[in-house]
Structure 1
Amino acid sequence: MTAAVPDVFAPAVLGPVRLRNRTVKAATFEGRTPHGQVTDDLIDYHLAVARGGVGLTTVAYLAVAPEGRTHREQVVVGESTAAGLARLADAVHAAGAAVAGQVGHAGPVANGRSNGVRALAASRMPSPLSMQMVGSASEKDLTRITKQYVATARTLVTAGFDVLELHMAHSYLISSFLAPGLNRRRDRWGGALENRARLARQVARAVREEVDGEVAVTAKVSLGDGFRGGVTTEEGFEAARLLESDGTLDSLQLSGGSSLMNPMYLFRGGAPVAEFAAAMPLPVRVGMRVAGGSFLKEYAFEEAYFLEKARTFRAGLAMPLMLLGGINRRETMEQAMAEGFDFVAMGRALLREPDLVDRLQAGRQDAGVCIHCNRCMPTIYTGTRCPVVEETTLPQT
């Protein structure tokens, strides 16, 4: 007997949470918290996909500590931001969807100059973002940060969030410990993979102990970082096996690439070097124009581009998995279900068409219309949006 293939548009369970379907709005920088606070614009951003039929929308990026922000405009979860987060959760629930908070510490991806606080990583390194040195996290730092994950989790649960997504990818703090090229430590946090995975497991365990049974706890993990010295598919899988063996997580979302070293490995498609340069302050703008082509490497887009690597994880893990990466077609979503994935996560497709899930479910479309030009990426500094939509809706003169 073989299990029936689930319907991607039918209700599903994620840990203790019931979702109206198996579609997830992946966390993508919204650029709508100019003072580090939830705004009406941020709420409207998530309401659009909630009203458009998605099962779960993910708020990105919610920092656990001031130095863990990517830059000073990001939300740090705490007393001063709790009311706004509760207002966002209430609005999403009223539209019929569930809401996740992507919880994390940016580590070396944080801009220490913008934050006014030194960034931290597994090992000391120069920052291309702030032109400063990133400090090596001490034992005291790691104890403090783990407690801050716990406090953040409690605040989000109190605010009404349904899911906590722990960010363990993209060269953020936990990911910097996992990557051997970024982790040169000789203490119990470095060396063998079991040591490099210690922080990921410690944070997941601490959060689970705090919120067990109240919300779902998931993690975004890497299928491969896409740079020499980054997390490989093989080590990413072994780290995932360790997390599964701990029993602290309800699902893993399978991602890839490095926000610090190779961001286009995650996105695929066009590399908007000129647009990024125009959005950057001096002197980063000059550097982007000169060397942006080597940093924003161009990878040809293909539908479900992480699927082959994700199959390795699906074959070796029993826990629920979320497939991410270039999912635009109903056929792809159904294939993911047939291959044993439990949820599908979409980013750019929903940015272009917030109501795409409803359109696919109703049979009005077979696929999204996103062209994967990635010109949306530089808009994270001014409110993430699709420039193609803007251009096609401008009044004619």
Structure 2
Amino acid sequence: MTTVPATPAARVDPLAPARLGPITLRNRIIKAATFEGLTPKGLVTDKLIEFHRRPAAGGVGMTTVAYCAVAPEGRTAPGQIYWRDEAMPGLRKLTDAVHAEGAAVSAQIGHAGPVAAAKYLGMSALAPSRGFRLTSQNFTTPATTADIARITRAHAEAARRAVEAGFDAVELHFGHNYLISSFLSPRVNKRKDDYGGSLENRARFAREAARAVRDAVGDKIAILAKLNMDDGVPGGFWLDEAIRVARWLEADGSLDALELTAGSSLLNPMYLFKGDAPIREFAAAMPQPTKLGVQLLGKHLLREYPYRDAYLLEDAKQIRAQVAMPLVLLGGVTNKAVMDQAMAEGFEFVAVARALLRDPDMVNKIRADERTRSLCNHCNKCMTAIYGGTHCVLKAA
């Protein structure tokens, strides 16, 4: 029987406090995870703390630290944080700084899998099946069942460490063809065992990881998952399967909310972002051989999609109609009108990324004047800055 969420009886104010699992946020606006590029040694820096303190001071309900890998080989860049003893003091300092501004803080946890910077890490890029990556010019290594079990345990350990470091929530990365998302994708997953073939098998890793995290932390923190609705490639994971996976995750009771996303960092990265595809800037920022891959294949890999506000809403509404659990709307949330629209459509939270890079004070400005609109023009050049410190290239630091 289809579960249909109740129609809200009254207007929901996105600027009012809201419950998210065991925690209460001061409003329904979440700073989405955007890789910061501010941890050159894989440890928290003062710049990373300031990166998250600013939107916290600017009024968001919660900011999300990205990307905290659950294993060393699960990083997309050599300098990314992964969960280990050395990282804990800095992470505690970061959470304290965000809390001092009145906001909550979440850690995005996951394993990059086929998207990992394997060549620069000196490690194998794990994937469901063997495959060739065009941009980095290397093959992925099929994950064994022992790898899957190890990485599932690593998610649980990362969540336990997040509690110790003072985080209010964790966000499990089930999107963009990172490892667990790649298992969901029939385009990438060609396995013949219990983790391949049918959708039930392809979703097994995601469900086991979510259950392991819930069993590890209980209700000490909120647990979200970022779930792809559409890989944006022929033969990939698509909305009809995403609806079924969302319903299974809801039935499992492991999550407090789903954040709905799209696109493949492996095969079609611009499908999520919409707007301009700054190919020249991307190539300039990349080391070899990735630079050459972007120069040769950029027009095919970095396709442009027209931008519009709330561009994931129509797909997300189809999942909203099938599950009752809290959902986070991502994509083109640039002003109060879009936030109100999301609430009217039954979404409990919105996630904002580029608009907050442009103006970390956006939420406070909206509170003061509801006509405020982000000045982000979706040029996407901020994406090319990630390895030297993510920022909006159109404004002074």
TM-score tier after normalising by the smaller chain length:
over 0.9
CA positional deviation for 1:366: 2.7
Residue of structure 2 in register with 1:249 after alignment: 255
In the other structure, the counterpart of 1:224 is 230
C-alpha distance in 2 between matches for 1:17 and 1:324: 21
Does structure 1 residue 40 correspond to structure 2 residue 40?
A: no
Partner of 2:34: 28
Aligned counterparts of 1:213 and 1:286: Cα–Cα separation in 2: 47
Q: Which residue of 2 aligns with 1:240?
A: 246
Tell me whether 1:184 sits opposite 2:190 in the alignment.
Answer: yes
Question: What secondary structure, in the 3-state scheme, does the structure 1 residue paired with 2:266 have?
Answer: coil
How many Å separate the matches in 1 of 2:120 and 2:200? 34
After TM superposition, give the deviation of residue 280 of structure 1 in Å.
1.3
The answer on whether the counterparts of 2:183 and 2:203 sit within 8 Å (CA) in structure 1 is yes
Q: Distance in 1 between matches of 2:188 and 2:296?
A: 25
1:377 aligns with 2:383: yes
**Given residue 139 of structure 1, which amino acid in structure 2 is its aligned partner?**
T
Report the alpha carbon displacement of residue 14 of structure 1 after superposing the two structures with TM: 0.2
RMSD: 1.2
User: 1:116 deviation in Å?
Assistant: 1.4
Q: Give the conservation status (yes or no) of the 8 Å contact 2:358–2:376.
A: yes
Measured in 2, the distance between the counterparts of 1:26 and 1:331 equals 19
The corresponding residue for 1:279 is 285
Deviation at 1:364, TM superposition (A): 6.3
Q: Distance in 1 between matches of 2:71 and 2:104?
A: 25
C-alpha separation in 2, matches of 1:78 and 1:290: 38
Amino acid at match of 1:177: F
Name the structure 2 match of 1:335: 341
1:259 Cα offset (Å) = 0.7
Shift of 1:156: 0.7
- Equivalent residue, structure 2, for 1:86: 92
Which whole-Å deviations, capped at 9, do the CAs of 1:146-187 have from their partners, x for residues lacking one? 111111110110110001100000000000100001000000
CA drift at 1:114:
1.1
TM-score of the aligned structures, taking structure 2 as reference length: 0.97
Relative distance call for 1:225 and 1:105 in structure 2 (3 A) is: same
CA drift at 1:228: 1.5
Structure 2 residue runs without a partner (length 5+): 1-6
Q: In structure 1, how many angstroms separate the alpha carbons of the residues matched to 2:8 and 2:154?
A: 44
SS of the residue corresponding to residue 61 of structure 1 reads strand
How far is 1:125 from its partner? 1.2
The equivalent residue for 2:175 is 169
Supply the distance in 2 between the matched residues of 1:129 and 1:78 (Cα, whole angstroms).
30
Which residue in the other structure is 2:166 paired with?
160
- 1:104 and 2:114 aligned: no
Q: Distance in 2 between matches of 1:317 and 1:88?
A: 34
CA distance in 1, matches of 2:138, 2:326: 40
**Are residue 134 (structure 1) and residue 140 (structure 2) matched?**
yes
Match of 2:329 in 1: 323
Q: Does 1:119 align with 2:134?
A: no
Other-structure match for 2:22: 16
Structure 2 distance, partners of 1:131, 1:274, is 19
In structure 2, what is the equivalent of residue 205 of structure 1? 211
- 8 Å CA contact 1:331–1:366 kept in 2: the answer is no
Does the 8 A contact of 1:105 with 1:172 survive in 2? yes
Shift of 1:238: 1.0
Alignment-mate amino acid for residue 177 of structure 2: S
* Mapped contact 1:112–1:130 kept (Cα < 8 A): no
Give 2:4's aligned residue. Answer: none
- CA offsets 1:101-135 (integer angstroms, 9 cap, x no match): 00000000001111111110111112335422211
SS, match of residue 191 in structure 2: coil
Cα deviation code 1:27-82 (max 9, x no counterpart): 00100000100100000000010000000000000000011111211101121111
Indicate if the aligned counterparts of 2:8 and 2:344 stay in contact, CA closer than 8 A: no
State the alpha-carbon separation in 1 of the partners of residues 148 and 286 from structure 2. 32
Query: What is the Cα deviation at residue 281 of structure 1?
Result: 1.6
SS at match of 2:109: strand
Asked if 1:215 corresponds to 2:246, the answer is no
SS at match of 1:323: strand
- Give the 3-state SS of the residue equivalent to 1:87 in structure 2: helix
Cα distance per residue 1:250-278 (max 9 Å; x no partner): 00000100111111100000110010011
Distance 1:180 1:272 in 2: 29
Which residue type is aligned with residue 231 of structure 2? D
| Superposed structure 1 runs of 4+ greater than 4 Å apart | none
Cα distance in 2 between the residues matched to 1:176 and 1:224: 12
Identity of matched residues, %:
53
Distance verdict in 2 for CA 1:2–1:99, change over 3 Å: closer
- Partner residue of 1:268? 274
2:311 counterpart residue number: 305
Report the counterpart of residue 289 of structure 1 in structure 2: 295
Structure 1 residue 320: Cα displacement: 0.2
State the distance in 2 between where 1:2 and 1:287 align: 49
In structure 2, what is the Cα distance between the partners aligned to 1:45 and 1:296? 27
User: Does the aligned pair in 1 maintain the 2:135–2:289 contact within 8 Å?
Assistant: no
Local SS of the residue matching 1:102: strand
How far off is 1:365 after superposition? 4.0
Is this contact kept in 1: 2:60–2:363, CA < 8 A?
yes
Bigger shift: residues 244-253 or 226-235:
226-235
Describe the shift of the 1:318–1:139 C-alpha distance in structure 2 as closer, same or farther (beyond 3 A): same
2:303 & 2:380 partners in 1: Cα distance? 12
